[in-house]
Structure 1
Amino acid sequence: MASNAKAISGQTFDYIVCGGGTAGCVIAAELASLPNVSVLLIEAGRDSDKEGLWELETVPQKQLNGRKLIFLRGRQLGGSSAVNYMALARGPAADYDDWARMVGDDGWSWKNILPLMKQLEDFDPKLPAYLQRLAAPKTRDHGTSGPLKIGFGDEMVPGIETFVEACLENGIPLCPDINSGNPVGVGLARFNVRDGERYYAANAWLNESARKSLQNLTIVTETECDLLHSRNGIVSGVELYHRPTRENLDEEDPHLATASVSVMEKRNAIVHGITVTIPMSMVNPIARGTSRVGFGSSYHMK
């Protein structure tokens, strides 16, 4: 199941997922559930590493007098889902319907996305008694058999009841279920935590039981993808470096893992877990590029 870069050098896989973050873990698990395929999942961080973080530095921010900020993201199996605030919030139904109209694909509409959202979650509607009047989850909008444990938690932030009351007194309506497609007003957040344990991409989709059953899945941690090999504009393999620490890079040897060419011609077999904007002048040669990747992305930082 788990391996290292040297052990898989020269091997062939049907699918190679580069980046074992939030999306990468889910994609790898879903692909590995298919019959007669082999899947390789590559992650730069470690498994179950509570301290695993990327400390990315932004470019100077014009609105902040040229200051650079540190952008923290999860560097471990599960990515930022392993280190975030654990709040799970769906967008408004109107947004999904707008996306469907914009791209001409009804698959992105709320009515078609909602069943997929329900498949993700194991929702527990229980609330502390003193907060029960502040929420009324719609059971039809929630799943109860998915891998991700979702609920209100056993404890709320102190003062939350007073905050909601203040909102109501000032004319802000109560939203009894902020994940029902109409998150207008003030309502109680949902969290991916159960019995004091965080549930995230790695321990929800790739827990011990899943790893034992997915014999066709190989997971490589502490390993970075340094180079994509391209053939006729299609990625055919990746060059890997095993990097347990950042200090001994000159002692490392690259190892090559390749993807099955026959499958690569039919499927999008290389997946990366983070969207960033990189000036084309910094990348050479460019096998296949698009100016829209990362365009317009923003994030709240301080």
Structure 2
Amino acid sequence: MKTLDEADYVVVGSGSAGSALAYRLSESGRYDVVVVEAGGTDAGPFIQMPGALSFPMNMARYDWGYRAEPEETLAGRRLATPRGRVIGGSSSINGMVYVRGHARDFDHWAESGAAGWGYGDVLPYFKRMECFEGGGTEPRADGLPAGDPAWRGMSGPLNVQRGAMENPLYGAFIEAGRQAGYPLTDDYNGEKPEGFGPMQQTIWRGRRWSAANAYLRPAMARGNCRLVHGNVARIAFEGTRAIGVEIGRRGRRTGVVRARREVVLAAGAINSPTILMHSGIGDPAELS
């Protein structure tokens, strides 16, 4: 089969994981990286303009169009399961809300045997990835304090900001929570994860700050990371070693993107296992 491209690392998918991996793998300059993406461009207002957030996940050009199995308790409805089919993956079609998760959840994972996944273990990586409110160290003009560097990153590639508090409904919502007895928090991704407070968003200077904007484009600007468009049909093997991926376009396989070192599957929670199964990897009962 024709070789379409070759690199040290082949990353399948340009979403949150794939773009970050491309950024890190290309960072030293020692390796070249190819990212394979089935979807098209993320340019245009429906993705880049935050106010259009409800559109891309309902547009066939940006979404894989998956539906869940019929749900008996919902009269057989098949609920939409949005998955981004576009540069940036689901980070280009989501609601841009930034929530790390409660520290106690991570600690529970570690207590249950997932060594290295306690909150203290993952916090340095959360800090490394983000640039909270431009890395500012002074309180905002609206009175919100600056991020605490013990909890927040100030120089990472992913821009995160708290929403503006100009809408009068914001104050009413916070006051309703206070009157109901709930705690308040200025930063739910900081020391106080519980309570009513301003939402945090992956938005910067009026644009969606997707994984593509945060990671993929800076990686490609280095010159040793490039993007190949095409749908990965299966992993290519020599014996038991993965040596690349077979690319399909318009219903037929057109060639192989070869990996000198590794193939990295980052095609999402649905497509990564699908590619593995199409490659003969999985439960024998399902493969048969």
Shorter-chain TM-score: what band? 0.7 to 0.9
Q: Which residues of 2 match residues 9-28 of structure 1 at below 5 A? A: 9-28=3-22
1:298 corresponds to which residue? none
Q: 1:285 and 1:169, CA in 2 relative to 1: closer, same or farther beyond 3 A?
A: closer
Gaps in structure 1 of 5+ consecutive residues: 1-5, 243-248, 292-302
Q: 1:172 and 1:198, CA in 2 relative to 1: closer, same or farther beyond 3 A?
A: same
Contact 1:38 1:216 in 2 (8 A): yes
CA–CA distance in structure 2, aligned partners of residues 90 and 162 of structure 1: 25
CA–CA distance in structure 2, aligned partners of residues 147 and 236 of structure 1: 31
2:235 corresponds to which residue? 228
Aligned pair partner of 1:115 in 124, 127, 137 = 124
Q: Which amino acid is 1:173 matched to?
A: P
Contact 2:27 2:219 in 1 (8 A): no
CA–CA distance in structure 1, aligned partners of residues 109 and 140 of structure 2: 34
Q: 1:71 and 1:104, CA in 2 relative to 1: closer, same or farther beyond 3 A?
A: closer
1:254 corresponds to which residue? 254
Q: Which amino acid is 1:241 matched to?
A: G
1:69 corresponds to which residue? 79
Contact 1:136 1:176 in 2 (8 A): no
- The secondary structure found in structure 2 opposite 1:70 is coil
Aligned pair partner of 2:160 in 139, 142, 150 = 150
Q: 1:156 and 1:258, CA in 2 relative to 1: closer, same or farther beyond 3 A?
A: farther
Deviation at 1:216, TM superposition (A): 1.9
User: For the aligned residues, what is the CA RMSD?
Assistant: 3.0
Aligned pair partner of 1:237 in 223, 241, 244 = 244
Deviation at 1:31, TM superposition (A): 0.8
Q: 1:25 and 1:141, CA in 2 relative to 1: closer, same or farther beyond 3 A?
A: same
Deviation at 1:143, TM superposition (A): 1.1
1:20-39 CA deviation, whole Å, 9 max, x = no partner?
A: 11111111111112343221
Q: Is it true that 1:196 corresponds to 2:190 in the alignment? A: no
CA–CA distance in structure 2, aligned partners of residues 10 and 212 of structure 1: 21
Q: Which amino acid is 1:45 matched to?
A: G
Gaps in structure 2 of 5+ consecutive residues: 48-55, 57-61
Q: Is it true that 1:217 corresponds to 2:225 in the alignment? A: yes
1:184 corresponds to which residue? 194
CA–CA distance in structure 1, aligned partners of residues 219 and 272 of structure 2: 36
Deviation at 1:62, TM superposition (A): 1.7
How many matched pairs?
264
CA–CA distance in structure 2, aligned partners of residues 75 and 285 of structure 1: 21
When structure 1 is superposed on structure 2, of 118-127 and 18-27 the one drifting more is 118-127
CA–CA distance in structure 1, aligned partners of residues 114 and 82 of structure 2: 35
CA–CA distance in structure 2, aligned partners of residues 112 and 236 of structure 1: 33
CA–CA distance in structure 2, aligned partners of residues 113 and 212 of structure 1: 28
Contact 2:22 2:215 in 1 (8 A): no
1:31 corresponds to which residue? 25
Deviation at 1:18, TM superposition (A): 0.9
1:287 corresponds to which residue? 281
Contact 1:93 1:181 in 2 (8 A): no
2:269 corresponds to which residue? 275
2:102 corresponds to which residue? 92
1:45 corresponds to which residue? 39
Q: 1:194 and 1:36, CA in 2 relative to 1: closer, same or farther beyond 3 A?
A: closer
Contact 2:7 2:33 in 1 (8 A): yes
Q: TM-score, normalised by structure 2?
A: 0.80
- The secondary structure found in structure 2 opposite 1:140 is coil
Contact 2:265 2:272 in 1 (8 A): no
Q: Which amino acid is 2:258 matched to?
A: T
CA–CA distance in structure 2, aligned partners of residues 279 and 23 of structure 1: 15
Q: Is it true that 1:57 corresponds to 2:67 in the alignment? A: yes
